[in-house]
Structure formats: structure tokens, C-alpha cells
Homo-oligomer: A and B are copies of this chain.
């Protein structure tokens, strides 16, 4: 008996996720999309029909901050798998709705509290991991952070563990978007989430402890396949926490690529206080959160897709040793913005984030990853996931002692 899938969220990533579910319709039952704004879910379903998909689709309005509403919807539509690609503020209520209904749960980013700039370590420990026992008791599967980064990059680390090293010294995750969206300035995700990643302290796990830096304080030039030489900066990111819990004796760092123009605009906005999530009062007495105004004037990330060209390269440089013999491997994917738009009507950043949770859902449906507990991606065998992703449009390549090749 196939499982019905419920996607929560209707932004750029949700659109990719929906298209991939529809492309792999024989793995699932019906597809339901629920959003705060029902018309956005309707738009996605219309784009699925445009592509000729014939699966059973339905849209729903939901307040995903209300776990009872989530549970009610899951029961009503008999969902077996819930893919949460809504805002970062709804994880805990959606997870609770899944626990209450024994529905498998997948998300792509940590939970955040809307009143905080940026969560501090131990990120997953702040919210999600506190529910591990509840998930196990309910006997359901919850896969956390199953997008690209976190998600696929966690599987890359696990692949290095499984197939390359018995001791891992360092995991450097590098995320380069060498694409161009033509606009003066835009963020690739919801600006509110995007900027929050960079306005706080940058945490890395080095020498067995958390180290702290400021954003753009530590830069390094990387020379990567396809995208070439690119400068990336030490950044905080969800997966640094979960990977450092599994790989306690390794250094775990996340590097995000930024051009000089992005850094300049970001620096101006941040220095002026315009990225603050704390309200200010105008001379007329109106209370306003500056970051929400910045979000309102920036292009909608989904609107960038038609003009987006160029490629992304995201990968893990893992250094370690096997039987005392040191080595390194770079495990990576290259995605193309234009290809993504032609296939599913979204840009490459949304594509890389939206495909992996569907791979995870298929592996749950097939039983391979239906582990009946709460896990992060690195806790699961990597090869089935990466091989399936290859079939789904996100092939993994490896640069190791034998050269640059497919896994």
C-alpha cells in the first residue's frame, strides 16, 4: 500500500519537492500541499498539471504553527509521509503533529525561534533532539535536515566514513553558487532566513570545541570542479552541529561562497541595523522590524528562476586516514540553474534543496530508511540515498586518488 505525501510549504523549494514527488509518483499515493496561503499551493499544483503529471493532487490551507491543525490534516488526508519545507519556525509544531499521528517526518533545516537572530550551538539540541524519545516511543521515522546542506553533504561525510577512512581528521563543506540572477541584489532563499544565517556568530567545530568568528572574518580561496577558483567564508550552518556530534574528533567547518558585491550590500545593511529582527519605531510612531522591510523590497527568490544561469558546486572535502595511511577525498555535486528551471520551473538553489527530501521520502516508502526513530542524514547508510539522487537529477562525483569520477 503506497503512502500519501503531505508537503508543508509552497515556496521555491516546495515547488521542486512537489515536482519530484510527481515525477516519482509510482512510489507514493496522493500528493497534498498545505500552505498558510492556499493559492500558492494551488499555483504549484497548476504547474504540476502543466507538466502533464496525473497523480492525485490536493491543496490545503494550514497554520503550521498549530500542531493540532497539522495532526488533523494528516488524519484527514491519511498522510504517511510529511515533508516539511515551510519556514524554519514551524518544525516543532509540524513534528508534533507527525508524532501524534505516527506519520513519517522529513525536514531540511533546523527549527528557529522567530525572535532570535541566529540559534547558538547545540542547534539540534535546542529543539529537535529533545523530541528523540517521543519519536522513538511513537515508533515513527523522523529524518532531520534532509535537503542539500544540511542533507546531502551529511551523506557525503558518511560516505567518506563508510568507504574511505577509519579516522576522519576534518570535514570542510563548501557551498559555491557561481550562478547569476541579473538583479542588483537578491537572496536565493527567504531573505529573513538567509540573512539570519550570517548576522550572528559563526560557529565551527575545531580541535574538539566550538570556535567563534565573525561573518566574513575567515575567507579561503577554493579551486573547485566546473566553478573554478572561488572565495568562500567560514559560516555557521546546521550540519556543523550534527556532524560534530557524530565526528567528535574531527574538525567540522562550513564554507559559503560570496562575491564582493554581496558582502558589500550585506555589510551596509547590517552596519546600519537594517538586518535587525528587533522592532524600531519610526518618527510617526509605527513599530517596524527592519529585516521585514528589507525582505519586502528585495526580489522574491522564486522570481529569479527564469533568468538564472550558471552552476552551483557543493561538496565535502574530507581528510583522514585508513590503516594509518593519510588521504583526502572531495565528494560533490554540480547543478545547473537553467536545467533546473527547464525541468521544474525553479532555480538551482531551490532544486538542490528540494530534491533530496523526496529521495528520503522514497527511501522511507521503500523501507530502506524507515528506521522508526529520529535521525540526521549521516546516521543512515549513504550509498542508497546518493545513488537514488543520481537517478533523480543530483549525481554525486568524487575526486580521490584515482581522479574525478562518478560514485
A residues in contact (CB < 8 Å) with B = 184-185, 192, 264-265, 268-269, 271-274, 276, 280-284, 286, 288-290, 292-298
Contacts and interface: CB of A to CB of B under 8 A. Distances in A.
A293 B283 contact: no
The count of identical subunits is: 2
B286 A274 contact: no
Contacts of A274: 274, 293-294, 297
13 contacts: A184-B272, A185-B271, A185-B272, A265-B268, A268-B268, A268-B269, A269-B272, A272-B298, A274-B274, A280-B293, A282-B296, A283-B292, A288-B293
A268 B273 contact: no
A282 to B, nearest CB: 4
Nearest to A192: B283
B282 A292 contact: yes
Nearest to A184: B271
B282 A293 contact: yes
Contact of A281 (B184, B272, B273, B296): B296
Nearest to A190: B283
A284 B264 CA distance: 28
A190 B126 CA distance: 43
B290 A284 contact: no
A264 B268 contact: yes
A298 B273 CA distance: 8
B295 A293 contact: no
Contacts of A271: 184-185
Contacts of A288: 286, 288, 293, 296
A369 to B, nearest CB: 34
Given A272-B298, A286-B292, 16 more contacts: A184-B271, A185-B268, A185-B271, A192-B283, A264-B268, A268-B268, A269-B272, A272-B297, A274-B297, A280-B293, A282-B289, A282-B292, A282-B296, A286-B288, A288-B293, A290-B293
Contacts of A290: 293, 296-297
B296 A280 contact: yes
A158 to B, nearest CB: 36
